[in-house]
Structure 1
Amino acid sequence: MTITVYLPLLLALPLALAARRLAARGAPGPAAWALAGTAAVTALASTWSLTMLALTMLDDVPPLAALDDRPGLRLPEPVPGPVALAAGLLLAGGAVRLAAEVRRRTVTHRRLRAIGDPDQEVVVADWSAPMAVAVPGRAPVRGRLLLTTGILRLLDPGERSVVLAHERAHLAHRHHRLTSMTAAAAALNPVLIPVHRAVEFLVERWADEVAAAEVGDRGLAARAVARAALAASGPGTVLGIDGGAVVQRVRALSRPTPPPLRRRLAGPALLGLVTLAVASVATAAFVDLARAWL
């Protein structure tokens, strides 16, 4: 097998390094889609590379192992045994992480959907903790909003309108699909964790921009984000805010609406195409090896 089988494992690194810079400039929507799509391609390609490497261990299984001792028969050598074993272990680890991530999201969504009347578009829970969550629904229902009395008491009417517009934007644009996609990609390939975090930030910025446009006041939107962040009792409880990301979001809302800057997305698109091309070459080499052995 050629060196191309290892390249998809390495191509995740430049995407991870560039993710934060891409998330910092321009309109958040196109960047979120570009990063999520490229992360999915990269994760699938790296997983397929690990699969091909792990499958080379089959040459040690009878009757293929007996072919090594046949005189005059020169078969192409697969990758070293330790490399194939390491690939198998990495595959198993990725599968466990993916299963855990799917279970966590499934359980969380089920619990949130069980709160209140399922036919209500907005559910208000009598909880002191300030929280506003967009709960995705199954098609054709887009979902509903879950608010607590804690967040309603905290904000004035104008700021509440920002919260509602923000959470409705999450449902309207199906942001949970982008974050789920990158969470799965990061589970399969942990190098992509920074990309997942960047997409989580971008969908919050995207919802911020939609809310600011809907209320027609970027200053009001910035104030609502800042006040909700100060009262948040934990990561993601109010407007998806966690840690220092709120500072970047408030600063962005304090500036004019960002331009698309689609040219900056050429890098992730090109990286995705290169990854697909490299994976195709590696697959062709693997098929040649399999034919020789079988």
Structure 2
Amino acid sequence: MIYAVWIPLLTPFVVVPAARRLADALAPARAVRLLAVTAAGLALCTVLALALLVVPGAGRLSVVAAAGEFVHPLAAAAPAVAVPLAAAALALLAGCAVALARAVRGHWSQLHRAARHDGDDGDELAVLRDSRPDAYALPGRPGSPGRIVVTTGMLHALEPAERDVLLAHERAHLTGRHHLYLVLAELSARCHPALRALRAPLGYALERCADEAAALAVGDRRVAARAIGRAALAAGSAGAPPAPRPAGALPAAAGPVPRRVAALLGRPVVRPRIGRAAAATLLACLAVSGAAALDATYDLHSSIETAQGETP
């Protein structure tokens, strides 16, 4: 077990290069699903691996040994190794638990503050009287569709067709519940620091999903590309910092805008070789991490049965 249990802790470092290529090489919706599954799966394997590291060291304690009815000590590792590892793993697990609880509570508080930010009149669109160009999707609480917030400065900066693109883009964020994917990525990053690198490609893939939905809604990819570019330029050249956004808002000009515009102007054809290679790498890492965690679990179970005087 002592060897297999390290694989789930090291695998997340391998997925980062492939994840960065995936967002550009694969269709946006597929990239979002694969990145989200990979982040969640590797985070779960990480937590399981840390829990497995705690047990051998804890089994050396007389209280735990008596509760587990151990006739022999656990043979998963020598005491000089098992006890320090168990203490370190327990500390990391406690840190993960605290970080996850804070993240969940923070996200829930954000949704409640967002609901109070623009009232509760049921309108999908809220127009703020502000000369600074800005637009974002404001997710709602469970059961609430959320709201699109646009400033008058942004509306004046865009032509009518471009405004339709902007609204369709933000509407896609709301209907697709894209903020939940970002929350999942944030929670996964709290379990393993390497998984923080998945947030950027996932955020870019989500923006690409909304871009494609907006282009489909208006029926013109060039208009969609022009609207996204002009919205980003308007927001960046306003001369004054944008108005403070509520936490959890999904801004229209997020992510690498030039790459998004280039993707809309080019043919929407996925580069199959790069996409398949990156997807295969992520799936392989997820499979290897899960298999190693299961193997370590089986070995620990056999060690516990041996310690209890049973035949594994």
Fold shared, TM-score > 0.5 on shorter chain: yes
Which residue is equivalent to 1:211? 214
The alignment-based identity, stated in percent, is: 38
CA distance in 2, matches of 1:225, 1:113: 26
Task: Tell me the C-alpha RMSD between the 2 structures.
Answer: 2.7
Taking the aligned partners of 2:184 and 2:64, their CA distance within structure 1 comes to: 39
1:194-218 per-residue CA deviation (whole Å, 9 max, x = no partner) reads 1121101100011111111211222
Match of 1:279 in 2: 293
Asked if structure 2 preserves the Cα contact closer than 8 Å seen for 1:8 and 1:278, the reply is yes
TM-score of the aligned structures, taking structure 2 as reference length: 0.82
**Alignment partners' CA distance in 2, 1:58 and 1:117:** 52
Counterpart position of 1:238? 251
State how far apart, in whole Å, the 1-side matches of 2:37 and 2:156 are.
39
2:145 corresponds to which of 134, 139, 142: 142
* 1:61-140 superposed matches below 5 A: 61-64=61-64, 73=72, 75-78=74-77, 79-114=81-116, 115-140=118-143
Change (3 A) 1:80 1:74: closer
Structure 2 unmatched runs, 5+: none
Q: Deviations over 1:152-204 (max 9, x none)?
A: 22222122111101011112222222221111111111111111211011000
Q: Which range is displaced more, 123-132 or 11-20? A: 123-132
Structure 1 alignment gaps of length 5 or more = none
Determine helix, strand or coil for the equivalent of 1:16: helix
Residues paired across the two proteins, number:
289
- The CA distance in 1 between the partners of 2:99 and 2:253, in whole Å, is 23
Preserved contact between residue 98 and residue 187 of structure 1 (Cα < 8 Å): yes
Q: Distance in 2 between matches of 1:35 and 1:292?
A: 40
CA distance in 1, matches of 2:187, 2:307: 34
Question: What's the secondary structure of 2:137's corresponding residue?
Answer: strand
| Residue in structure 2 matched with residue 50 of structure 1 by the alignment | 50
Separation (CA, whole Å) in 1 of partners of 2:306 and 2:154: 66
1:202 lines up with 2:205 in the alignment = yes
Q: Aligned AA for 2:13?
A: L
What secondary structure, in the 3-state scheme, does the structure 2 residue paired with 1:81 have? Answer: helix
User: Are residue 249 (structure 1) and residue 260 (structure 2) matched?
Assistant: yes
- Greater mean deviation of Cα atoms: 51-60 or 11-20: 51-60
Secondary structure in structure 2 of the residue aligned to 1:147: strand
Would you say the 8 A contact 2:179–2:250 is kept in 1?
no
For 1:213, what is the secondary structure of its paired residue?
Answer: helix
- Bigger CA drift: 131-140 or 160-169? 131-140
Aligned residue for 1:257, secondary structure, equals: coil
Displacement of 1:15:
1.3
Equivalent-residue separation in structure 2 for 1:118 and 1:288 (angstroms): 60
TM-score, scaled to structure 1: 0.87
